[in-house]
Homo-oligomer: A and B are copies of this chain.
Amino acid sequence: MHIVFVLYDRMTALDAVGPYEVLSRLPGAEVTFAAAAAGPVNTDTGALRLTATTSLAHAPAPDLVLVPGGPDIAAQVTDAPLHAWLRAVDAGTTWMTSVCTGSLILAAAGLLRGRRATSHWLAADRLPAYGAIPSPGRVILDGHYATAAGVSAGIDLALTLADRIAGPQVAQSIQLAIEYDPAPPFAAGSPASAPPPIVAFLRANRHLIMSS
């Protein structure tokens, strides 16, 4: 299956690389990183560049698309050529997916109207502006749309999709291959579990994480 990861300037690297590390291990996976134009793409910190090996216009017809998020997606929620590409390939995909604020890009392209979706916990309240229905959960499937919560949630999304695509034995083999037996040192990964002062700090300083 052809899997296309959409890259763009100031995206968050882990949003794409987490799911890539799972989905690229699916039997028969052919993975392409694509952007508006081929070449290196800067991620949000400015320290890491990923390479788009082709332009979206020249990417193979995808069976699965993943749109990552980022702290500043102002340009992507108004990117008409990107939206046109997403709408054009959508009907041919088995899965149209996003991680973090990537769901806002899918939604802005008009793909999530009336669909349940999730996003980064600090951005999910922006989904209704595009007709999507914010839904609690780390991974939300609605039809062939699959959205994940913030950044690291893409790994859980990808394992969920691996199960749907290739069955539980393949999904579990991939999980064991990447030794995904998470053991976070704190219970602080969601606003429900994190200490309230930490949640309040990030809400009050949202600009530290989200610049658009």
Contact = CB atoms under 8 A, between A and B. Distances in A.
A159 B13 CA distance: 17
B151 A179 contact: yes
B155 A182 contact: yes
Interface size class of A (residues with CB under 8 A): 35 or more
Interface in A138-161: 138-139, 149-153, 155-156, 159-160
A103 interface: no
A21 B150 CA distance: 12
Given A150-B178, A152-B155, A152-B182, A172 B190 contact: no
Nearest to A3: B47
Contacts of A18: 14, 17-18
A76 interface: no
Copies of this chain in its oligomeric complex: 2
Contact of A179 (B50, B150, B168): B150
Nearest to A12: B21
A59 interface: no
Interface in A166-212: 168-169, 171-173, 175-186, 188-191, 193-195, 197-199, 201-202, 208-209
Nearest to A46: B31
A131 to B, nearest CB: 24
A209 B177 contact: yes
8 contacts: A17-B18, A49-B53, A150-B177, A150-B179, A151-B177, A152-B178, A171-B185, A175-B188
Interface of A: 12-14, 17-18, 20-21, 24, 31-33, 40, 45, 47-51, 53, 100, 120-121, 138-139, 149-153, 155-156, 159-160, 163, 168-169, 171-173, 175-186, 188-191, 193-195, 197-199, 201-202, 208-209
